[in-house]
Amino acid sequence: MRLGSTWWWKGMAAALILFFTLAPFVWITMISITHESGLFAQGVQYVPRNPTIANYFNIFKVINFGRAFGNSVIVALATTVLAMSVSVAAGYAFARFEFPGRRFLTVGLLLIYMLPTIVLLIPMLAIFKIMGILNTYAALILAESTHAIPFAVYLLTNFFVTVPRDLDEAALIDGCSRFGALIRVVMPMAIPGVIAAALFVFIASWNNFLFAFMFTASEDVRTLPVLLRGFVGGEAGIFWGQVMAAAVMTTLPVAIVFLVFQRYLIRGLAAGAVKG
């Protein structure tokens, strides 16, 4: 009886967590398929009486949604590739080598990550202006990589520590270079941690609003979070059905990526949280 009661409470807790997690997205989806006139009808409509997908087509007419979506894909993927290239090498170095200032650099990376993002805006703005890359993909990719790399390095360092050093040494004895040992031996065993870090970088880049808002001035390079802001404050008013349709379209890629790689994310975060 006690065991059954325990499972009942666990099931209730899981259902409650699931409800509070999914309820906002379900509500947004319901609004996105509701006609604009139905949104202001008397009484709350939890399920639209006459659902429509017109809002999803309209967002491509009233704004340049396709271009912003493409910009987000380009920036997020490029940021992930750049940040992971740096983070894998740095994480491996921190995990395998002892050198002066190692602990200081590790703490420094965490302190940089904990800095409020807004503190970095003015220095980055000045640097990018001198470099002449404002309002370009390069500015967004560099800014978002700078913000994501410290956490990715910390996560990968803790994960690489769990991979036995004997494997590296055996590879070196067999004639591999240090880079070869990393790519051929360590990386295959570190795939869950690498995917977890890559997902973190991708999602952070995809959702980043502040950098895209500050470092871009035209729709040619602006990403989805900035575009969604354009729905609010227009002279014609706010069309909530279109706003929510755009929000669903923005959320879906991240949700799909997370669902596909969730088992790697859980394994990577769990393993990276424990030092060997």
State yes or no: pLDDT of 275 exceeds 50: no
51-58 long-range CB contacts below 8 Å, 24 or more apart? 54/241, 55/239, 55/241, 55/242, 55/244, 55/245, 56/32, 56/245, 56/248, 56/249, 58/239, 58/242, 58/245
Which tokens hold the place of 39? 């949104």
Q: What is the pLDDT of residue 167?
A: 83
Residue with tokens 């602990």: 103
Q: What is the pLDDT of residue 128?
A: 93
Q: What is the pLDDT of residue 86?
A: 93
78 versus 227: which is more confidently predicted?
78
Q: What is the pLDDT of residue 142?
A: 94
198 versus 101: which is more confidently predicted?
198
Exposed e or buried b per residue across 114-125, where buried means at least 16 C-beta atoms within 10 angstroms of its C-beta: eeeeeebbeebe
- pLDDT single digits (tens) 42-73: 666 677 777 888 888 888 887 788 899 999 99
- 233 Rama class: left (phi>0) / alpha (psi -120 to 50) / beta: left
Average pLDDT, the chain: 83
- pLDDT single digits (tens) 20-48: 888 888 888 888 888 877 776 666 667 77
State yes or no: pLDDT of 8 exceeds 70: yes
Which tokens hold the place of 168? 């590296």
- pLDDT single digits (tens) 146-184: 889 998 998 888 888 888 888 888 888 888 888 888 888
Q: What is the pLDDT of residue 1?
A: 43
Q: What is the pLDDT of residue 80?
A: 95
Question: What is the C-alpha separation between 153 and 151, in angstroms, rounded?
Answer: 5
Q: What is the pLDDT of residue 235?
A: 52
- pLDDT single digits (tens) 216-272: 888 889 899 888 877 765 555 677 888 888 889 988 888 888 888 777 666 655 555
Q: What distances in angstroms separate CA 165 from CA 39, 108, 161, 173, 186, one per listed residue?
A: 61, 25, 8, 13, 9
State yes or no: pLDDT of 205 exceeds 80: yes
Band of pLDDT at residue 138, cut at 50, 70 and 90: very high
Question: What is the C-alpha separation between 13 and 18, in angstroms, rounded?
Answer: 9
**Which pTM was predicted?**
0.83
Q: What distances in angstroms separate CA 193 from CA 95, 99, 149, 231, 241, one per listed residue?
A: 13, 24, 14, 38, 39
Q: What is the pLDDT of residue 276?
A: 42
Band of pLDDT at residue 5, cut at 50, 70 and 90: low
